Amino acid sequence: MSENRSMAKTAPDPTDRVILIRRFVETERRRVWGPRCRARRKELGLSLEVVAGMCGVSPQTIHKVETGEITPREHLRYALALALMVEPDALFPAPSAADLRSAIAA
């Protein structure tokens, strides 16, 4: 009976994989989204204040998104895409399957 318990402890926990994937996706979002938003804003010649006003948030919030300090929630992602005149997927692509597999394997 104690053998079964020890085997159960060594089996991979699916919850651990879910946590790893979520952490990876969150890190990847912050790494990718911020620079894309900043580059597009500057390409359009818009200030933080103008984009913030268009999105209904503070300039500090836009700055935090651009620097990767925060990950924008869905409503802000859509507002940013609209303000920056792009499709949301252009700024906020989903991570690739290969990236997710490598995160799980790590």
List phi, psi (to 5°) of 37.
Answer: -65, -45
Q: What is the pLDDT of residues 61-84, one digit of tens each?
A: 999 999 989 888 889 999 999 999
pLDDT digits (tens, 9 = 90+) for 22-46: 787 777 777 788 898 999 999 999 9
pLDDT band at 55, cuts 50/70/90? very high
DSSP single-letter state for residue 89: H
Tell me yes or no: is domain 13-105 CATH 3.40.605.10: no
Q: State whether the Cα torsion 31-34-37-40 is positive or negative.
A: negative
pLDDT of residue 90: 80
Residue boundaries of the structural domains of the chain: 13-105
**What pLDDT is attached to residue 65?**
93
DSSP assignment of 16-57 equals HHHHHHHHHHHHHHHHHHHHHHHHHHHHHT--HHHHHHHHTS
Task: Tell me, yes or no, if the pTM score tops 0.75.
Answer: no
